Structure 1
Amino acid sequence: MKNILKSAAAAAAAMIVTAVSASAVIIKADETIPAAPAEEITMSSIGSVSKMFGTAAAMQLVDEGKLELDAPVTDYLPDFRMDDSRYKDITIRMLLSHTSGLMGTTGEDFMLFDDIDPAPHDELLSKISKQKLKADPGEFAAYCNDGFTLLELVIEEVSGESFAEYVEKHICDPLGLTYTGTALGRAFRSPYQADVFSSYIKLPADYCMASASGGVISTAEELSRFGKSFFTGNTELISESSKNEMKKKNIDKEYEGGFGLGWDTVEDKDYEAAGVQVVAKGGDLNFQHASLVVAPDEDISVSVLTSGGNSGCNELFAKALLDIALEEKGIKVEHTAVQPKELLTEVPEKYLALEDIYADSSSIYRITFPDRKYMRVENLCSDITSVNEFMYTTEDSFVLMDGKVESGKAVQAKDQTVLKVTSYNGKDCFVYEQYMDQGILGAMSMDGYLYMREGENKVSDEVQKAWEDRNGRKYYIYTEKYSSVMYMADPFIKLSTVPDVPGYTNIGAIVDSDRITYCASFPGTRDLETYTIIKDGDVEKMKAETSNITAISEESIPVLEEDMNTIALRTKNAAWYKIGESLGGKVKTLDIPDKAAVYIYDRFDNLCYSSYMDGYGNNVVFPENGKIVFLGEDGGKVTFS
């Protein structure tokens, strides 16, 4: 059966991703997987499933009496400081359960193509010392990469070993994980690295520089073998008491996340109904994705690794394999089908007082109840009109509709989304339950806080005008390393003010003429940012303070004309150009040195060329009214002819 499952896994995984690289393995307590021939070994970055390696390392140190879960981080990292006195209350447990109150991700040079750089690890304490917390430590859970990079530093301080060395010596070697390691350790540029794709374009592997957060690389076989160490009664790595601590839900409040220690989820209603506890962890880099699903009491571990798709689909497939293995043991898991809601044609009067401006971590919304017939949610920051309509139900909730309610032809959306009203810290909020249909794999379910009431944010006319003058302006990333994935995945920030709602932009609430801060801070709000405008002569820049990434305004980008055929490169200082009329439509041959890269975008900022695209060569068309960015290190130069 194991071989059949492995074959089915590879076939089905390929169906759910947008590229061709996929592998999956299921392991039971009484099974071992023989060493695969070299030509069959496939290694992939496992993204945030790496956090389980960081968690295992921490719990080993707990078992040895070297680390206490409820001790302050400062007991182990005396150099840890923040611009917020509450940091002293952050404990090791809070790092493991995403409840520290840290902003999220200090993302500078966080993910790189075919390159490694220890700076995100080495410079974290310096960068985080300038940050504030978004909440009291322990107040709520919100996914946090920086928490696990801090944990990585703690593990190194307590053990006296680098995290890469610790993982290899204390986790991989005892379990016989020959190929598993970190990008900053033995796994970088492995000859067994799986092919990586974006829209069927082959790319070099992307690596995460924060090892305990997302930098571990493994095979599906070895990741499943690692999952075995969490089986009940298996003490190869950590004690039974530590494993039990890991699979407890750390904040047992509805809609506030189901994190254990390390695990994304430690509860699943469908499996609980069958008497089975399932714990799961997913991980995503930009182009590589992973899921690890373990049923500890049933001795089953499943992993799925892909290039393309996402960790959510990987988890659904892993659970489909888990269901087969459970059925072999006589355990039948019934996955409840989503049932349509019973609708009412009138919204209760009590909800009319909720009409106002709301925010989530990334946008601003206006919520109204037209003629009390339905709830209308308008995204005020979208480039095009974006409105969702919800009808009231007999369960005192609102369900998403497809079509216009007033047409009389609207039907409940296939991907059911249900909103309910609650409050958090005295503010009105909406929470959600969503079920996304993934075809034969079933439904992906999510829940949490969604919108928080913000109301007016009063600013002076002068301050408002400063941001209105920037409305529609784009700012292009320019302080990332030449190998940064951001130039392909997320090269610019577009700033928009909000029509008829002064005091807000699409990236947050206005503070003054040069500062914007995040709006909502409630359970689940991850990676919050504040932004500062910087003037350097005639050049305007925008700095994302948490990420520590700076971008240059479109108006400050010079024009590249045909008489310019050599571009000098500078370290972490991107040379952006608008493609001038004399170059538009022409084919040029680029001479790009080592440790350098070139990206070309069309007039709409869609990527048309990167020197990282396999097989695209160096003969490229310069699109009319497009942009080009030259990246590299001091002393280098790119020429084109």
Structure 2
Amino acid sequence: MTQPTHVWKKTSTAALVALLLALPVAEGQSSAQNVNAPTATQAQATAPKNVAQAQAKAQEMIEALMANYGVTGAQYAIRDGGKVVLSGGTTLDDSGNKQKIDAGSMFGIGSVSKMYVTASAMMLVDEGKIDLDKPLTTYISDFKMADERYKQITPRMLMNHSAGLYGSHYKNTILMNDNDTQNYDQLLSNLSKQRLKSDPGEYSVYANDGFQLLELLVERVSGMGYTEFLQKRVSEPLGLKSTKTPLDTFDRSVLEPVRLPGVPNALPDENANILGTGGVYSTTEEMTLFSELLSGKHPELLSAESAEAMLQPEYRSGVWVPDTNNAFGYGLGWDSVDLEPFGQYNIRAATKGGDTIMYHSALITLPDDDLSIAFTTSGGSSIFNTTSATNILLQYLKENGKITNILPEKTFEKPVKQTMPDDLNKYAGLYGTVGETRELAIQNGEIKMPAMMSDLIPAQTYVYTGDREFTSEDGRSVLSFDEQTNGHTYIRVSSQVELPSLGSSRMAFYEAQKLDANPVEASAKAAWTQREGKTFYALDEKINSFFYIAPSVLLKTVSLDASGGYANGAKIVDADHAVNVAEIPVMNGRDVFDLDFSREGDIEYLQADGRTYVSEDSINPLYAGHSSVVTIPASGSVRWFNIPTVAAGKTLTAELPEGAGFAVYDADGAPVALSIAMGTNTAVLPEGGKIVFGGKAGDVVKVTLESK
């Protein structure tokens, strides 16, 4: 899932949420072979496995993650030839002391869950009950969209992210101690109001909603609820005791605690209530056992032919960045089916990464070698887990004679500027990506680019270095322009992303799409100009949502380009509507949205990404007297208030009905108090901040304020 994260020592909470929602993260991939790579040797299948060096590497990775990347618990396992040969990890207790982790500790595995629903659907393919290339409506007759092209969507397109769906409906999905299924229950209704962003099959771009549809497909065809299907068709036959969904009944004390820096106790359990997309819990040992099924080692459950079909390079069928070394290369379910650097050792590898808000995971399988590794964490990001797992697995391969040595990290030098051809100036102009537009200037063979990949690639100047490419100051990133077969021009970025103390990850992606001029009628332009810079606040996210920990996805700030033709990257069509125009393959085109405004009296509302937002103009100040009440309206889950100057510094105490709560933010939007997450009903109110109360419709929250 999706791709929000918390690398507390490295970057802002908001940036990390953006990273998590933006990345189906995996290590780089390439089909090219390195003629200078170490040669593979065939180890004796019956020889005992050496693990000391791999274990040391695993501990080195965990120490780095805990010291620098906000990780509070990590677990790993390697399975070789059907046996767990290495398993371990570290966790923090409530006092912050490190302990060995139990092999039975369960983690949310995020989007690695997509492999379970893909395999489930492929089991039904084996039985002749699903044809991957028949229309989805063959099986889900009530699936409809506000775009006739939806009739072309097939199950295969759901699995390889090429259906053309906008991306994700996240509303009320990741909740604290709450297995509410409303998001899944409303899936078809939400999609019925949405159009497609591209022709089905035109290109692949990560789409969580596709795997919610795949979950529904499994249910409709099998006649079983998805949780029941997993239990009977996957867990019981494989002997998986700790692979569950939020709808299962199990001992939740075995879930790895999720923690926030500065908060002494663990947070409530995290339920990702989008089961096919990201809702499975498991252990690393059980993840590697499940990976045997994905490698064709359990033909009684999933045929070898279907497992191999999942490993095929589906991403090459549509528009794609031409780079052969890339973090993304979709199969069916898999993020990458030719994972680097393993290809440089003539080893085929596939990977899937996963992120919820607090849990992160990576699964790497070497299908031809009956070998896999799983690496899960509380805190961090799947990109860090995938890099760590890669390093551990390479060490294990070397230690056991599969490879002779490990290739060194590539080094980079400051670029040498060359004379730029004049025709490249045509690429200057307005570009758009999801949520924003930017003006790209090319001056004297140089391009200034902002930070990318949620600050993993820093803001730098790129200079022309020949071959129609611009290279960053640190030499790690190369920028160029692609005129693709779909008629769009893209900024293409290829980067060796540095992850200090972990290694690096190779990524190639389209950063933004060149936009045409969009003249807007004067009255419509005036309406949008009045909204520019204003923030709209979500009204229908349950107060026990983990998104309140990092609320950037619950806010929409209207931003116009200089011409006034685009808002947040969407094309303005009239005074109240802007539609997505981003058709960006690979990564940056995921989770797009339209903007639709309406009014009730003097209150302006925004509909976007399945949520309802209210304008900051309609947010009232919190009553600053000693006592007051806040009533939750029937029209929404929450009410937002500004904290007035006269209330700043006072201690708020709330008498909360069951299930109700509040969240307090300072003037910069950082959380100060989260009643449900932190188990408190008091907070000192910050100057210039905001507070949001939530609960059931009609709940009354009694509030008192006390001065120091």
Common fold by TM > 0.5: yes
User: Which runs of structure 2 are paired with 1:249-260 in the superposition (5 Å)?
Assistant: 249-252=313-316, 254-255=320-321, 257-260=328-331
Q: Is the 8 A contact 2:197 2:582 kept in 1?
A: no
**Cα deviation code 1:583-621 (max 9, x no counterpart):** 221112222232112101122322111013336x32321
User: Contact 1:103–1:529 at 8 Å: present in 2 too?
Assistant: yes
Hey, what does 1:611 align to over in structure 2? 675
1:375-390 map, 5 Å: 375-377=447-449, 388-390=460-462
Match of 1:66 among 129, 135, 156: 129
Note if contact 1:365-1:378 (Cα within 8 Å) is conserved in structure 2: no
- Superposition pairs of residues 287-326 of structure 1, within 5 angstroms: 287-326=358-397
Deviation digits for residues 193-234 of structure 1 (CA, Å, limit 9, x no counterpart) = 111123353422322211010000111121122112233544
For residues 465 and 569 of structure 1, what CA distance do their matches in structure 2 show?
Answer: 34
Residue 552 of structure 1 aligns with an amino acid whose one-letter code is V
Question: Does 2:141 align with 1:78?
Answer: yes
What amino acid is the match of 2:461? E
Matches within 5 A, 1:141-540: 141-186=204-249, 190-201=252-263, 202-231=266-295, 233-235=297-299, 237-252=301-316, 254-255=320-321, 257-327=328-398, 328-332=400-404, 333-334=406-407, 337-340=410-413, 343-370=416-443, 372-377=444-449, 388-401=460-473, 412-413=474-475, 416-424=476-484, 425-491=486-552, 492-498=554-560, 500-524=562-586, 525-540=589-604
Instruction: Evaluate the alpha carbon distance shift between residue 453 and residue 228 of structure 1 in structure 2; reply closer, same or farther with a 3 A threshold.
Output: same
Q: Structure 1 residue aligned with 2:611, among 543, 546, 549?
A: 549
Measured after TM superposition, the shift of residue 342 of structure 1 is 5.3
> Offset of 1:574 from its aligned partner?
0.8
* Contact 1:19 1:200 survives alignment (8 Å): no
CA distance in 2, matches of 1:634, 1:294: 47
**Structure 2 residues without counterparts, runs of 5 or longer:** 1-49, 89-99, 323-327
For 1:496 and 1:146, the matched residues in 2 are separated by 25
Please, which of 71, 80, 90 is the counterpart of residue 28 of structure 1? 80
Segment drifting more, 176-185 vs 131-140: 176-185
Contact 1:2 1:26 in 2 (8 A): no
Q: Which has the higher contact order (CA 8 A, sep 6+)?
A: 2
> How big is each residue's C-alpha offset from its partner over 1:441-487, in whole Å with a ceiling of 9 and x where there is no partner?
32111112222111311102222221111121111111112222222
Alpha-carbon distance change, 124 to 599 in structure 1, aligned in 2, over 3 angstroms: same
SS for the counterpart of 2:254 is: coil
Distance change >3 Å, CA 272–CA 519, structure 1 → 2? same
Given the superposition, is the C-alpha separation of residues 496 and 346 from structure 1 closer, same or farther in structure 2, using an over 3 Å criterion?
farther
Q: Please state how far the C-alpha of 1:534 moved relative to its aligned partner.
A: 1.6
2:494, 2:509 within 8 Å by CA — same for their partners in 1? yes
Equivalent residue for 1:406?
Answer: none
Q: Distance in 2 between matches of 1:219 and 1:3?
A: 22
> Structure 1 residues 183 and 33 mapped into 2: Cα distance closer, same or farther (>3 Å)?
farther
Determine if contact 1:6/1:26 at 8 Å carries over to the other structure. Answer: no
1:348-368, Cα deviation, whole Å (9 max, x unpaired): 111012221111223212122
How far has the Cα of 1:558 moved from its partner?
Answer: 1.4
Residue 694 of structure 2 is aligned to residue 631 of structure 1: yes
Residue 142 of structure 1, CA deviation: 0.5
The answer as to whether partners of 2:75 and 2:101 remain within 8 angstroms in 1 is no
Q: Name the SS of the counterpart of 2:373 in structure 1.
A: strand
Partner residue of 2:29?
none
Cα gap change, 1:264 to 1:338, in 2 (>3 Å)? farther
Change in 2 beyond 3 A, CA 1:443/1:127: same
Give distance in 1, aligned partners of 2:124 and 2:80. Answer: 27
Q: 1:331 to 1:5 in 2, by over 3 A?
A: closer
The residue matched to 2:582 in structure 1 has which SS?
Answer: coil
Matches of 2:77 and 2:364 in 1, distance apart? Answer: 11
* CA distance 1:575–1:393, change in 2 (3 Å): same
Which of 127, 132, 139 is equivalent to 2:190?
A: 127
Q: Which amino acid aligns with 1:173?
A: E
What is the aligned partner in structure 2 of residue 588 from structure 1? 652
Partner Cα distance (2:407, 2:594) in 1: 45
Instruction: Name the CA distance, whole Å, in 2 between partners of 1:627 and 1:436.
Output: 36
Superposed CA offset, 1:493-527 (max 9, x none): 34344463321233523221111222321213111
2:438 and 2:561 in contact (8 A); partners too: no
- The percent of aligned pairs where both chains have the same amino acid is 32
Q: CA deviation at 1:391?
A: 0.7
Partner amino acid for 2:321?
A: Y
How high is the TM-score relative to the length of structure 2?
Answer: 0.83
Q: Are 1:105 and 1:145, in contact at CA under 8 Å, matched by a contact in 2?
A: yes
Whether 2:170 is the aligned partner of 1:107: answer yes
User: For the residues of structure 1 that align with 2:52 and 2:694, how far apart are their CA atoms?
Assistant: 46
Contact kept? 1:366, 1:378, Cα under 8 Å = no
Counterpart position of 2:23:
none
Aligned to 1:408: none
Is contact 1:356–1:455 with CA below 8 Å preserved after alignment? no
TM-score, normalised to structure 1's length? 0.91
Q: Is 1:13 matched up with 2:62?
A: yes
Alpha-carbon distance between aligned partners in 1 of 2:643 and 2:414, rounded to the nearest angstrom: 54
SS of residue matched to 2:294: coil
RMSD after superposition? 2.5
After superposition, what is the alpha-carbon deviation per residue over 1:395-425, rounded to whole angstroms, capped at 9, x for unaligned?
3311122xxxxxxxxxx35xx1211221122
1:43-80: CA deviations, max 9, x gaps?
Answer: 11110000000011011111111111111111111111
Of residues 558-567 and 101-110 in structure 1, the stretch that sits farther from structure 2 once superposed is 558-567
Q: CA deviation at 1:623?
A: 1.8
Which amino acid is 1:80 matched to? F
Deviation at 1:89?
A: 0.8
Aligned length: 620
Matched position secondary structure for 2:83: coil
SS at match of 1:365: strand
Instruction: Return closer, same or farther for 1:325/1:3 CA change in 2, 3 Å cut-off.
Output: closer
- For structure 1, the residue ranges without an aligned partner over 5 or more in a row are 402-411
Q: Give secondary structure in 1 for the equivalent of 2:141.
A: coil
Residue aligned with 2:252, SS: coil
Partner SS for 2:466:
coil
Contact 2:418-2:466 at 8 Å conserved across structures = no
Deviation, structure 1 residue 190? 1.2
The answer as to whether partners of 1:300 and 1:325 remain within 8 angstroms in 2 is no
